[in-house]
Every structure is written in C-alpha cells, then in structure tokens.
Amino acid sequence: MSAPTTVPPPRTAEPPRPPGRSLISRVLGRPEVGAVAAAVAIFIFFFAIAPVFRTPPAFSTVLYASSTIGIVAVGVCLLMIGGEFDLSSGVSVVTSALTAAMVSFQLSLNIWVGVVVSLIVALGIGFFNGYMVCRTGIPSFLITLSSFFMLRGINLGVTKAVTGTVATPNVSELDGFATGKAIFASDIDLGFINIKITVLWWLLFTAIATWILLRTRVGNWIFAAGGNAASARAVGVPVSKVKIGLFMGVAFVAWFYGMHLMFSFSSVQSGLGIGNEFIYIIAVVVGGALLTGGYGSALGAAVGAFIFGMTTQGIVFAGFDPNWFFTFLGAMLLLAVLVNLYVKNYSLTRK
Amino acid sequence: MTSTRRFLRGAAAVAALLTATTALTACSSKGGAQSQDAAGGGKRLTVAMVTHEQPGDTFWDKIRAGAQDAARDHNVDLKYSNNENGPEQATLVQNAIDSKVDGLAVTLSNADAVIPVVKKAVEARIPVVVFNQGIDQYAQAGAKMYFGSDEDLAGQTVGKRIASDGGGKALCVIQAQGSVALEARCAGVKKTFPNTENIYVNGADKPAEQASIGGKLQQDPAITHVVTLGAGDAMAALNAETDSGSKAKVVTFDLNPDAAKAIKDGKIGFSVDQQPYVQGYMAVTALWLNLTNGNDLGGGKPVLTGPSFVDATNIDQILPYTSNNKR
C-alpha cells in the first residue's frame, strides 16, 4: 500500500543534550524520577511505622506483590506510550490461564501444549484489539472495553460449560507441570532472602522494555506513534504495525502472568482478574507516563508497580483497619502523583 | 509561572499534611495497644484473620463483629485483612506469616490458591483455623479446626422444605458469578428438589438484580419458590415480586434486620442462617483456647454453625439480636 518510505536515520538513545547540562539535571529530566522520589518517601514511611516491614521476608512479599502488577504493567506502559489503552488486560490474564489449564486437562495432554495454545490465543486477542483499533479508528478505550466484557463472559461461560464448575480442575498432576512451575512460579533462595521468580521476570521485562524504548528504532516509533500519529505516519513510521505489536505485547505479558497464576495455584477461578486493568494503568501513570501517550518510561511503570505493591502490603503490615484500606491507598497514590508533579516541575524550571 | 509555583507549593503542603495525618493515626493505634497490654498483663496474643470478604458486605460485618467481640473478651490483638481474589488473599496470608502472628484464621473460598501458603503457616508452627468456607479442604491445608456451614447440606434442607411445602418449581438466585460456595448451595437445593433453575444476577447492583429476578418471574409463571442466597438479595426478590405481581414464595439463606422483619411479617417463608457471628467468634476463641490451653474443638470433624432455621416459630426470640449486628 504505502510507498517505500524514508525512514529517519536510527537515532541512538536520546537527542544530544546541550553542553554543560549536569548529571543531576539529566536525572531529573527522566519521566520516572518523581515516582522514584515517591517510592522512597513511602518506603521510609512504612519502614518507620511498621516494624515487620523491615524484615527480609516482608520485603520479599512486597516485591512479589509488586511483580504481579509490574509484569503486566510493563506491556501496558509501552502501549500507553504508544497512545492506546487496553481495558482487557486484567481478564485476558485469566483467559490465558483458563485456556492453558482446560486445554491440557480436558484433552489429557502435556501441560506445555496448553501453555503454547494459550499463548496463541492470547496473541490472537491482542492482534484482534490492535487490528480493530487501527482498522476502524474507534478509540481503543471502546474496543478493548468490548473485549473486556466479552472475555469476562467467555471466561465464566466456557469454564462452566467445560468443567461444570466455575474453576478449572487441578492441573498439578499433568506431565510438564514441574518444569512449568520452575519457570513461572518457583522460589529462589538468595541466602538472606527468599524471593519469587516473578520478581526476576519483572526486572527482566522492565530491562527489555527500557532497552527497546531508549536504544532501538522501534522505541522511537512507539514514542512517535503515541505523540502524534499523523506526523509519525508522515515521516514513515508504520503506526498501525507498531500499535498492533504493542497490543500483542500486552497480550504476551498478560499470558505470562496467567501462566504464573496457573502454575502457582494449580487451578484457576474464572472470576479473577476483573478490575486489575485499572491497577496496571495506575502503575504506569504513577510511573510518569502521560494518559495522552507519547511520554513515559518502562522503569517508571516498574516503580509505579512497586509503589502499589508496597502500599497494599504495607498497610497490612502496619495493621491499619482494613475498612480504611482504600482510603490509605488513595492517599498514598495521590501523594505519589503530587511528589511526581513537584519533582518534574522542579526539574523543568531548574536552570 | 508564579501561579504554577504557588500551586506546587500548595501541592507539597498537601502531601506533607497527608503523610503527617497518616503517621499520627498510626501512632495513636500503637499507643492504644500498648496501654491495653499494660492493663491486661502477660503476653498479648496476636491472631490474624484473612478472608475473601468483598468490602462493605453486611454478612461479613457480622463475622468481623464476632471476631472482634471474641478478641476483646480474650484480650487478643486481632489483625483483620481481606481480598476477594484468591492470589491476593494468599499474599495476605504470607503477610501474616511474615508478621509472625500467634494464630491464623482463614477462609478457603479459593482453596487451590490459598492452601499452599496456609501449609507454610502450619510449617511455621502457627495454629490455623479455617472458617466460613473450606469444609472439604481444611484438613488438607493442615488446619486443626473448621467452623462454618455445610453449603451442600444447607441447600438440601432448603430443597426438602420446599418439597414438603408443595412447591412446583424453584428459582435459585446466584448473586455473584464464579463463587463455588454459592453454586454448592443451589446444587444442594436441586438435589432434594430437582425442579430448580439457577439464574445469575449482579448482586452488587440491587436495581439490576431486582429487574433480572422480576423479568424471570414474568417470563416463567410456573415458579412457586424463589431461593435467594443472601438476605439483601431476598429483599430485592421481594421487590421484584411486587413489581411483577408474582405470588412465588421467597425463602433465603442468611439474615439481616430487614429479612428478619419480613419473616416476622410472613413475607419471607424462612431463612437458613449459617450464623456468621458465631463463625467469627469461634474462630478467634478456638485459636485462643488452643494457644493458651492446648484445646481443639470438633474431634477432628468440622464444627457446623449452620444450617440453622429461622422462621415464624422462633423469629420473636431472634429479631432483637438482628438489630445489634449479631444475627
């Protein structure tokens, strides 16, 4: 369709900086710096008031809670920088897990068959979302809202029809479960602290996403597509391909977390995941990304997830009344966003 | 520019204020515990209660009322936390283990998700009591005791009663999709009263729930009994009957003041109560007995808190208790 386009020469990293700009200025110019400041503040807060929070097992629990948000938030972050939303990310996690569990159990197959089939299904959902958005031009909010409702119904309807109950059978007896558990849901003993493998995957995905955004041409395309799709298209960025790819990226991380759910808990309840899509979006926004697209950082999304995990667990460690849980959570998030704003403006006005 | 600055300064002040307020709240609660400690004397036990409560539910408020009363009676420090999703609830149990609590009371609504971490608590020599849900799994999780209702048995008693009532067709209203316990109740009803149909409604949205039940009653006039699985849902069903002009009898699981009054007025046939206050009270009390006196209850079998019938014959005695959040 489109004529061979002139691709701008691959730029390395960020544009050259004016000479004499100090290291501090450069650090303060990053999108995630406000989130880091907020994370430090919240960490000190809980460290001071909750003695249990200072112990290594507690920190491991905080990291685990953060990683379960952060893994999906990485994909959502790239998508949001690319200027789109995905409201189906929370339920597609569960769709993936249900697919893998039911396919392998009902057909008595090696569980890895289910894992692969569910990856294909997940990528298909991502492709569907992306294709519909790019093809129709309807806002992704509406397209993925429809996917969200459809998947929510499919999760329950298919599970009930296939298994007769609302949860999948226990799949831990199937062949290949042990290797899957080692990859997706094992514990790693580091001597002083025992962490879940999801924490490592979370860090790895964040590192890969950061590398893509800052060091590759695709990264530039993502920023361009989210900043101004028309101009990006005009300079030859394959906007539709980038966006479809980003939706499939979200589908991939959702699938990955779905596999963690299945291997960690052996059976999957069909009603899970609803509402989590907003938690991923919140983590990304707290991490400094703009809701309008074109600006953000994968590292910021990781910090946002860490703030969320730290706050949800810290409130319990501190023994606050759970009736007030969401009030504390809201106050903490507001605090994070305010600190974020303050630091960002400080860094912009700083000469 | 200056206005932005001013706004920012304001924002920073708000942030500081928030931190200070939260910090103050934390300090005073700590002080309270310490002063009570001094008054009671001896070591104050800490019990964590981790449930799958959806926040703001009247049923769970009674469980918590029971747990809090028991904690006060036995000078136990109760740490309550909840999340309706299995994986998150499992993390909260891990949180309790990290906090080195003396005892753990937990619900197993999402048994597969929560059991592995409950086993960890048992390994860490924390005595565990399962309550409310998990009658078939509590022993497998390594818990010593179970307090709760047998959902299947409760459903069967309802079905029997509808049959003896001369019912023609029952509608079983499930107010939350995907709950194993609610499904078990309706399955139990169907066992003893086979002509039972399930309908799924959105219990979090009462007007929508009322409309769904009303629509079903209009569509199928053969229905003689409506079985609701929660007291609030029974009220929605009553309203739906008024709207649709149906004469079907409403019977329900669980109680609240409105439902109790409706039983008194003869609008609701009967309620099978699983006595949530008792579940919360006994979970904490049993842990306290175990920790201070080495006791266990039930002789290795589940201790049933239900089904307990509430109908015209005993409502006069029970009605007063419903208004102070105990029934």
| B236 assigned to some structural domain | yes
User: pLDDT in tens for each of the 351 residues of chain A?
Assistant: 444 444 454 444 455 555 556 777 777 778 888 888 889 988 999 999 988 888 888 899 999 999 999 999 999 999 999 999 999 999 999 999 999 999 999 999 999 999 999 999 999 999 999 999 999 999 999 999 999 999 999 998 898 889 877 788 889 889 999 999 999 999 898 888 889 999 999 999 999 999 999 999 999 999 999 999 999 999 999 999 999 999 999 999 999 999 999 998 888 888 888 889 999 999 998 888 888 888 899 999 999 999 989 988 888 888 887 778 788 778 877 887 787 778 777 767 765
B324 in contact with A at a CB cutoff of 8 Å?
no
Cβ within 8 Å, pair B15-A335 = yes
B147, β-bridge pairs:
B131, B303
User: Which of B99, B176, B179 lies closest to A52 in CB terms?
Assistant: B99
Q: What is the pLDDT of residue A87?
A: 96
Domain count, chain B: 2
Answer yes or no: do B182 and B204 share one domain: yes
Place of tokens 């396919």: A103
| B32 assigned to some structural domain | no
Q: Of A261, A254, A263, A244, which Cα lies nearest the Cα of A174? A: A263
Long-range contacts at B7-11 (CB < 8 A, ≥ 24 apart)? B8/A341, B8/A342, B8/A345, B8/A346, B11/A338, B11/A341, B11/A342
Answer yes or no: do B73 and B184 share one domain: no
B36 in contact with A at a CB cutoff of 8 Å?
no
Q: What is the pLDDT of residue B310?
A: 92
Q: Are the C-beta atoms of A8 and A236 separated by less than 8 Å?
A: yes
| B12 assigned to some structural domain | no
Q: What is the pLDDT of residue A142?
A: 95
Which pair of structure tokens corresponds to residue A260? Answer: 């963690």
Size of interface A-B (CB pairs under 8 A): 113
pTM for the whole structure: 0.78
| B202 assigned to some structural domain | yes
Q: How confident is the model at residue B109 (pLDDT cuts 50, 70, 90)?
A: confident
Cβ within 8 Å, pair A52-B112 = no
Distance in Å from the first CA to the final CA of chain B: 60
Answer yes or no: do B46 and B129 share one domain: yes
- CATH number, domain with residue B196: 3.40.50.2300
Q: Are the C-beta atoms of B208 and B201 separated by less than 8 Å?
A: yes
Q: Strand A194-196 to strand A187-189: parallel, antiparallel, or no bridges (unpaired)?
A: antiparallel
Q: Are the C-beta atoms of A126 and A76 separated by less than 8 Å?
A: no
User: Which of A272, A320, A346 lies closest to B86 in CB terms?
Assistant: A272
Answer yes or no: do B208 and B318 share one domain: yes
Answer yes or no: do B120 and B165 share one domain: no
Answer yes or no: do B125 and B75 share one domain: yes
| B31 assigned to some structural domain | no
Q: Which residues on chain A are in Cβ contact (under 8 Å) with B14?
A: 338
Domains of chain A: 34-349 (1.10.3470)
| B284 assigned to some structural domain | yes
Q: Of B143, B164, B189, which Cα lies nearest the Cα of B287? A: B143
The string of pLDDT tens digits covering residues B12-28 is: 555 555 554 444 444 44
The string of pLDDT tens digits covering residues A141-199 is: 999 999 999 999 999 889 888 987 778 888 988 999 999 999 999 989 888 888 999 99
Average pLDDT over residues B299-326: 89
Q: Which residues on chain A are in Cβ contact (under 8 Å) with B60?
A: none
Share of residues in chain B with pLDDT > 70 (%): 87
Answer yes or no: do B187 and B157 share one domain: yes
Q: Strand B103-106 to strand B76-82: parallel, antiparallel, or no bridges (unpaired)?
A: unpaired
Answer yes or no: do B202 and B316 share one domain: yes
| B222 assigned to some structural domain | yes
| B123 assigned to some structural domain | yes
Average pLDDT over residues B110-122: 92
Answer yes or no: do B211 and B317 share one domain: yes
Q: Are the C-beta atoms of A174 and B119 separated by less than 8 Å?
A: no
Answer yes or no: do B221 and B191 share one domain: yes
Answer yes or no: do B233 and B91 share one domain: no
Find the domain containing B237 and state its range: 151-274+310-322
The 3-class SS string of B164-206 reads HCCCCCEEEEECCCCCHHHHHHHHHHHHHCCCEEEEECCCCCH
ipTM over 0.85? The verdict is no
Average pLDDT over residues B78-93: 91
Angle of helix B111-123 relative to helix B86-98, nearest 10 degrees? 10
DSSP track, A123-173: HHHHHHHHHHHHHH---HHHHHHHHHHHHHHHHHHHHHHHHSSSBPPP-TT
Cβ within 8 Å, pair A267-B23 = no
Answer yes or no: do B155 and B144 share one domain: no
